[in-house]
Amino acid sequence: MRFVKSIVGRIRHTGATPLPASPALASGRRRVGWIGTIGLVALGILALNPVLGQRIAQTSFDLIFRLRPDGLLPVPDDLIVVRMDDESRHALAQRRDSAWDRSLHSRLIHNLANASSRAVIVDLFFAEEAPGDAQLASALARHGRVVVSANIARRELPGLGAVEVREATIPALATNAAAVGLLNVVVGDDGVARRLLPGLKSGTEIGWEPALSWVAAELEGRNLAKERGAPVSDLWLNYYGPAGTLPSISYEDALKPESLSRLQNRLVVIGANFEVDFPGARKDTFPTPFGAGRQEMPGLELHATALLNLTRGEWLQRPSPGLEARLIIAFGILLGLGLPRLRPIPAFLACLGAAVGIAFLSLFAAWHFQVWWAWLIPAAIQIPAGLLWAWGAHLLLLGHEKDLFRRSLATYLPPRVVEELAARPESLRLGGTVRRVVILFTDITDFSRISQRTDPHQLVALLNDYYDIAIGCVHQSDGTVLGILGDGLFAVWNAPVEQSDPEQRALRAALALTERLRVFEQRSGAPAVRTRIGLHSGVACVGNFGSADHFAYTAIGDAVNLASRLNGLNKHLGTEILVSQDFRQGLQAHQVRPLGHFRFKGFDQAVEVFQPWGLEAPAAPDDSRQNENTCDRAIRLLGEGRLREAIQAFQGSVTACPSDGIARFYLERLIVLPDRGKPGTPIIMELDSK
């Protein structure tokens, strides 16, 4: 039970949150569809086999009657069954251990003649002569429409072994009767009578022996078969109800003159109404399709049912094996190709609807159009098998797709984030969400110069090494790589998985990248590779953007553009890493140094820019840092709006260190500015270039 619940849980989960579609998954579904189609068609054909699928066909037939509402097939009133029951035997002083007095039968036939009854079936076998035969023969001749019985029995014959032989009724009765028919009831291997055959073939006779009901129907003017020797294999009994449903009268009452009105102008079937007529006689009751216990019905009622079916045209008919096979094949193809295209829950609902629909239509056709077929093959075999196959294949394909999904995400995301997304893939559907993220942009310093001086193959190898280091640094801090932009990288933190300290993670990645590039340069002897990095925290729309066939996970918005501008500002200042004021709010104060206020092209608001020192507090200033302290003082003066003093400080910084890119940047731009400083108002540097 626990295993089943786990499977159902997986099916419900996978049905509710499918992975994004991929060509591999679509191709796998097509293969699964064709394999399932072949299997379902083969399964249906095997179930249609008369030997292997006999029980399925029998149950399809039986359910027609078990599920049929009462009164849907009205009970005809043009037939009556004369029951030779125990009460009549006792009333007529017939011994329980012997056959009935045939003079009583002659009285009954005379009574039927007086009542102008229609065809009469005598479901009694007169194998030997007995007193009263002459009177019975006279009564048969007088009535003129009585069918007496013959029998096919299995006998051991010398030289032939066990064979089916015909046992005829005595000539005196056979010649005076209107016709002779077999009283044998054809049953399946489970003992239930379903077939309505014209007759049987004996092992020692040539040709088919007609059945009682068949001969009686022909007496009623029904031309049921042009060639009596050819079997009619597609006719089946259409029961009017369980045992006792058909109108009946006891043998004793049928002999009374006052019963003539009940017998008038009716078909009549005469026979025993109990399992054994007398000791040594054959059993004459048979199971029926009704009820779980298969209520048994006397043979005379089976003959009566068959006679009514034939005279009224109410038998059931089964399609030809070829047509039935084509239906089964069509269902197999439809299920095999259709189900793998559906997710588990819709597939289950579709199968449930299909099974109910097939059952309803099949039962409706049997009840109203008298056509039946082995409808349980698609409803109870092909559909469940197809659903299980589709579920199993879906889980298998989903596992394979999740593996591909993980490997694809691993290119952009760290392993822990990949596992979180694989557990809830709905987060990667088309569309975006607005959230605060940390954005990183990088590019390689002087990449144009490096590319001009490096062989293309070496340049590709150099770039791959750079990407390997850069992506590794991002992933180690649980960042998400959104794209490779030529010689640069675009990454974010706090998406798609939320993080409590995205700024610290991003700064850790940036510092690690600059440090590892220096180590890489020393170990490999490759051209000097420096990277410029811009970091900004802001609100962006993050998600999958594109079409249903091709989309990418990315971030868009002004925050992304600002991070890109910060990255470009490194080129002007000669720095490696720059961060915004919004980014600095997620850091400790000692981790950054202010570099002033800037207004980038396309932005209305000025941005205060910082250069990070590192993750730890910087050491006490020494001689090597004196120039930075001078530059920091000059930037602080700019923040206070003291332009002239700031210019003097920058001049001192450039004199002390001509390679100071920050001081040179400010000095080149400040000396051409008018003295517009106001105490307490920061001086903002305008940047026209992107």
User: How do the domains of the chain map onto residue ranges?
Assistant: 2-68+320-408, 79-313, 424-618, 620-690
Q: How confident is the model at residue 262 (pLDDT cuts 50, 70, 90)?
A: very high
pLDDT in tens, 300-311: 999 999 999 999
Q: Considering the chain, what is the average pLDDT of its residues?
A: 82
Share of the chain above pLDDT 90, in %: 40
Q: Say if residue 234 is exposed, middle or buried (CB neighbours under 10 Å; 0-12, 13-18, 19+).
A: middle
Weakest mean pLDDT among 484-488, 567-571, 605-609? 484-488
DSSP, residue by residue, 498-546: --S-HHHHHHHHHHHHHHHHHHHHHHH-PPP--EEEEEEEEEEEEEEEE
Which element (helix H / strand E) includes 152?
strand 146-157
Number of residues that make up the chain: 690
The predicted pLDDT at position 235 comes to 86
Q: How confident is the model at residue 354 (pLDDT cuts 50, 70, 90)?
A: very high
Weakest mean pLDDT among 221-225, 281-285, 502-506, 587-591? 281-285
Strands 285-287 and 296-298: antiparallel
Packing angle of the helix pair 558-573, 661-670 (nearest 10 deg) = 100
* Residue that the structure tokens 């000059």 belong to: 634
Q: What does the pLDDT average to over 167-177? A: 91
Q: What does the pLDDT average to over 460-476? A: 89
pLDDT of residue 358 exceeding 90, the answer is yes
Q: Taking Cα atoms as reference points, which of 3, 6, 20, 5 lies closest to residue 551?
A: 20
Q: How far is CA 42 from CA 51, 89, 281, 372, in A?
A: 15, 57, 47, 22
pLDDT in tens, 550-604: 667 789 999 999 999 999 999 999 999 999 999 999 887 667 889 999 999 889 8
The predicted pLDDT at position 151 comes to 87
Weakest mean pLDDT among 23-27, 48-52, 122-126? 23-27
Q: What does the pLDDT average to over 3-22? A: 43
Strands 179-182 and 146-157: parallel
Q: How confident is the model at residue 281 (pLDDT cuts 50, 70, 90)?
A: very low
**Alpha carbon distance 74, 383 (integer Å):** 34
Instruction: Find out if CATH 3.30.70.1230 is the number for domain 424-618.
Output: yes
Q: How confident is the model at residue 397 (pLDDT cuts 50, 70, 90)?
A: low
The predicted pLDDT at position 569 comes to 94
**Alpha carbon distance 492, 223 (integer Å):** 88
**Alpha carbon distance 132, 44 (integer Å):** 58
The predicted pLDDT at position 108 comes to 95
Q: Residue 314, CB half-sphere, CA atoms under 13 Å: how many? A: 18
**Alpha carbon distance 661, 575 (integer Å):** 8
pLDDT of residue 676 exceeding 60, the answer is no
pLDDT of residue 167 exceeding 70, the answer is yes
**Alpha carbon distance 462, 465 (integer Å):** 5
The predicted pLDDT at position 474 comes to 92
Q: Taking Cα atoms as reference points, which of 2, 11, 6 lies closest to residue 390?
A: 11
Strands 531-546 and 431-444: antiparallel
pLDDT in tens, 208-241: 688 899 999 999 988 765 533 444 557 899 999 9
SS3 424: coil
Most confident among 151-155, 373-377, 620-624 (mean pLDDT): 373-377
pLDDT of residue 204 exceeding 70, the answer is no
Rg (CA), the chain: 49
pLDDT of residue 13 exceeding 60, the answer is no
Packing angle of the helix pair 212-219, 299-312 (nearest 10 deg) = 40
Q: How confident is the model at residue 380 (pLDDT cuts 50, 70, 90)?
A: very high
**Alpha carbon distance 207, 228 (integer Å):** 9
Written as six digits, the tokens of 600 are: 């980038």
